[in-house]
Amino acid sequence: MKWVFCLMAAGLCLCLQSHVDAETRLSRSAIEKAVIEAKDTVDLAYEYSRRESIERVRRNSASPSDVLRLLKQPLGQTRLAVRSADYMHFAVNLIKRSLERHQKRSINATDLISEEDLQVIADLTGCSARRRVPPCKTTPNLDKFRTISSVCNNRKNTRWGSSNTPFTRWLPAEYQDGISLPKGWDPRRTVNRRLLPLVREVSNQILRIADYRVENDPLYTHLVTIFGQWTDHDLTFTPHSPVIRSFSNGIDCDKSCERTDPCFPIKIPRQDPRFGRNSEECMPFYRSAPACGSGNTGHIFGASNVREQMNSLTAFIDVGQVYGADDTKAIFLRNLSSDEGLLRVNTKFTDNGRELLPFTNMSVNMCATRARITNDVNAQEVPCFVAGDERSNENIGLTSLHTLMLREHNRLARALAKLNPLWGGERLYQEARKIMGGYFQVLTFRDYLLHIVGPDFIAKQLSTYPGYDENVDPSISNVFATAAYRFAHLMVQPFMFRLDEKYQEHHDFPSPLLHKAFFTPWRIVFEGGLDPILRGLVGHRAKLNTQDRMMHDELRERLFKFSSELALDLASLNMQRGRDHALPGYLKWREFCGLSQPKNQRQLAKVLENDKLAKSLLDLYGKPDNIDVWLGGVAEPFVRGGRVGPLFACLIATQFQKIRQGDRLWWENEGVFTEAQRESLKQTSLARIICDNTGITEVPEQPFQYTTMSKFTKCRNIPAFNLSPWKENVK
């Protein structure tokens, strides 16, 4: 028997037709009203957040949480995707609340809203565009050059590995409600019959270095640490929603400890060492934006309705942090004033005549002001730099790599122009970009990963190239982005070292503490440029992660600290992010990798090779199952020859195995480069790139491996990259 009714909720009249046991069908006008209200609400929240952010920056009162949120802001095509997701999520919630009021019970919206109506909502909110198949047949040069977004890399599954698509999951999500709410959202709700500990309490008890001293890595340079960040920023970027207050009740996430989407604040435990005995404060924390159509809003990209997070970057080693991951950004970064295939450079400053990154054109400057750090009220300020990735200003070591690779692209483009005078700017740009991608595929697999996952995992999963397999999905997994590839946070030194020509502490520009090197492009412009920083990366050891000296307080207590305001704690952020993304616990990932699953303190102590650490973990978590996967991973003893334990070695090796095998344009794949070009790429040298683009004259031939200056190599003795195979024979 059919029945028809109208109900009023949130100012909407929803005219519904249904069978008692069937999905509810909504009238088109009811759907349109819900979408209009959702768009108005979301747009107002976006506008409020934008104005408030600008005002805070202008008042010089941006907090560390503002910095993190602004750093994670979606831009360009990503912002459109996130906004569409917010539209759809809020529209479905409006309808859900209306249905709940009528049914007088809590429901899953997709249990009653038909697939047809969800499709209409997706069309009206813009979510449908996120799942539309790209027109690969009409895209030029697909066999020769990558698209910027990497759509059509796989001809059969055209969005695999492309930007602005959801992370893939290797194990099912474990949301508190099975759909969207993070693990630990309700702190009184048990997981495996145990309460989850506060992430800040875990950070204090397990990751804190009591005497602030670090142990230096005996084998590897600080470049290994920053290169890890560099490669991560080529592969993963998880945007936040741009809003700073809740859609549902208007609460400002920075001013409340209430948990209301997107606010998921980190509670400060009592007797916290930094805050005292009676602290009731919280560290602001914003949830990652949902991928369009996921999380209680139906099916998208063929996935189930659980909340999925988005990767705004491509999954391929394609140097997107130099070139961008969408067409608009890529064009913005190019120098189109000439037909030379060059990237834009700074027009106001140089580094002893060498190119610097261009400045952003934002109306406000979110980078740390020179005056605030130096106490010089007359100090000349500069804006943030702009590069292919939004995080290029995060620290001066990372900024230096961005600048180095900008210079290398332009050096290649100019050299290719001399070699092939008939090539136009588009060809020069694409060929230089393609070579750069080849460089970093070689450097990552040949030089870098060996030091991280060790020779055994290299031999097992990452040695001989097996060829392209169109059935391998290269998309980045949620656990890789959110946990495993954050291992290098425990290899970060408390200083950003700056060394002189003799690789000694620089007299004029001493090494700043890390928290004074966050978002400080002026240190590069006014304090000696790239050379001292790059010498510091290759001439100083990385921090060694040990079980009693995990994360220095420069990251644990002073993350993005520019003022006296509450700074952030990177360890807490990592664990809270894993809970936000509903990652399964430590033991399930051990099982995924075919490793043992310790059930008690004795077994955990055997895995960790540390009785005291095992006891401390179980005092906090109660059961090994509940240990946050990031923490469990970084707590394990290293595999032979590596800098991660067996769990993270497995997850990292598995991800890079998929990235390589699922990339149709991988440098070793037949037809991507000629045989002669592949032979040149095999000789790629990071040391040579440094020599070609700086004033540095001596470097370690293997920059990831620490050695004394007496064993450095003169740049003139390091072979130049051979570009002759790129000379085109013109008949």
Return the higher-pLDDT residue of 334 and 115. 334
Residue 717: both structure tokens together: 């003795």
**Tens digit of each residue's pLDDT (9 = 90 or more) over 146-199:** 999 999 999 999 999 999 999 999 999 999 999 899 999 999 999 999 999 999
Mean pLDDT of 48-68: 72
Supply φ then ψ for residue 121, to 5 degrees: -60, -40
The Cα–Cα gap between 598 and 519 comes to: 42
Is 660 among the domain residues?
no
Asked if residue 456 belongs to a domain, the reply is no
Which H helix or E strand runs over 5? strand 3-9
> Residue 180 and residue 308: Cα distance in Å, rounded?
8
Q: How many CB atoms are closer than 10 A to CB 526?
A: 16
**In a 10 Å sphere around its CB, with 0-12 CB exposed, 13-18 middle and 19+ buried, how is residue 78 labelled?**
buried
The pLDDT tens digits of the residues spanning 281-339 come to 888 898 998 888 787 655 444 445 799 999 999 999 999 999 999 999 999 999 999 99
Q: Are residues 360 and 488 in the same domain?
A: yes
| Residue 722 binned pLDDT confidence (cut-offs 50, 70, 90) | very high
Separation between Cα atoms, residue 19 and residue 25, nearest integer Å: 9
Do 379 and 305 lie in a common domain? no
618 in a structural domain:
no
pLDDT of residue 460: 96
**How confident is the model at residue 297, as a pLDDT?**
56
- For tokens 């109506």, name the residue: 117
pLDDT bucket at 75, cuts 50 / 70 / 90: confident
Q: Determine the pLDDT at residue 549.
A: 94
Note if 102 is an active site residue: no
Per-residue pLDDT reduced to its tens digit, 202-211 = 999 999 998 8
Write the DSSP assignment of 80-100 as a string of letters.
HHHHHHHHHHHHHHHHHHHHH
Please check whether residues 356 and 401 belong to one and the same domain: yes
The yes-or-no verdict on residue 18 having pLDDT over 50 is: no
Residue 284's pLDDT is what? Answer: 87
At 113, the pLDDT band (50, 70, 90 cuts) reads confident
Q: Is the pLDDT of residue 474 over 60?
A: yes
Question: In this structure, are 407 and 552 located in the same domain?
Answer: yes
**pLDDT, average across residues 88-94:** 86
Q: By mean pLDDT, which of 61-65, 193-197, 543-547 is the weakest?
A: 61-65
Is 167 in contact with 322 (CB distance < 8 Å)?
Answer: no
647-667 per-position pLDDT tens digit: 999 999 999 999 999 999 999
pLDDT at 563: 47
CA distances to 58, 577, 607 from 53, rounded to whole Å, are 9, 22, 46
pLDDT grade for 14, boundaries at 50, 70 and 90: very low
Taking residues 131-144, report their average pLDDT. Answer: 77
Quick check: is 322 in a domain?
Answer: yes
| pLDDT at residue 503, rounded to an integer | 96
Judge whether 722 lies within some domain: yes
Nearest alpha carbon to residue 98 among 2, 6, 181: 6
**What's the rounded mean pLDDT across residues 60-64?**
65
Q: Are 243 and 290 in contact (CB under 8 A)?
A: no
Least confident of 12-26, 110-124, 479-493: 12-26
Evaluate whether residue 559 is within a structural domain.
Answer: yes
CA atoms within 13 A on the CB side of 566: 18
Helix (H) or strand (E) holding 18: strand 12-18
Q: Give the CATH number for residue 684.
A: 1.10.640.10
Q: Do 54 and 29 lie in a common domain?
A: yes
To the nearest whole percent, how much of the chain has pLDDT over 90? 67
Q: Are residues 538 and 439 in the same domain?
A: yes
Q: Given pLDDT bands bounded at 50, 70 and 90, which one contains residue 274? A: confident
For 502-522, write each residue's pLDDT tens digit.
999 999 999 999 989 988 999
Top mean pLDDT of 19-28, 68-77, 146-155, 283-292 is at 146-155
What pLDDT score does 522 carry? 94
Q: How confident is the model at residue 17 (pLDDT cuts 50, 70, 90)?
A: very low
**Does residue 317 share a domain with residue 307?**
no
Q: Are 117 and 25 in contact (CB under 8 A)?
A: yes
The 10 Å Cβ neighbour count of residue 213 is 9
Strands (E), 347-499: none
Q: What is the DSSP string of 306-346?
A: S--BEE-S-SS-S-HHHH-SSHHHHHHHB-TTSSS-PBP--
Name 539's Cβ contacts closer than 8 Å, sequence gap at least 6: 221, 497, 499, 503, 700, 709
User: Do 294 and 442 sit in the same domain of this protein?
Assistant: no
In a domain, 169, yes or no: no
**What is residue 1's predicted lDDT score, i.e. its pLDDT?**
29
Residue 564's domain comprises 222-238+313-446+477-568+677-726
Where does a domain end: 296, 311, 326? 311
State the average pLDDT over residues 549-577.
82
Contact yes or no for 588/296 (Cβ under 8 A): no
What residues does 698 pair with on adjacent strands? 714
Catalytic entry in 89, 233, 451, 506: 233
If you average pLDDT over each of 68-77, 289-298, 581-590, which comes out highest? 581-590
User: How many angstroms separate the CA atoms of 604 and 141, rounded?
Assistant: 53
In DSSP terms, which residues pair with 543 in a beta bridge? Answer: 216
Q: How many domains does the chain have?
A: 2
Q: Does 340 score more than 60 pLDDT? A: yes
Type of residue found at 224: V
Asked whether the beta carbons of 34 and 227 are under 8 A apart, the reply is: no
Judgement on whether residues 227 and 117 belong to the same structural domain of the protein: no
Answer whether residue 491 shows pLDDT above 80: yes
pLDDT value for 304: 53
564, 682: one domain: yes
Q: Is the pLDDT of residue 264 over 50?
A: yes
Domain identity same for 393 and 317:
yes
CA–CA dist 167, 120 (Å, integer): 25
Q: 533 and 412 share a domain?
A: yes
Is residue 61 included in any domain, yes or no? Answer: yes
Residue 29: pLDDT above 90? no
pTM above 0.85, yes or no: yes
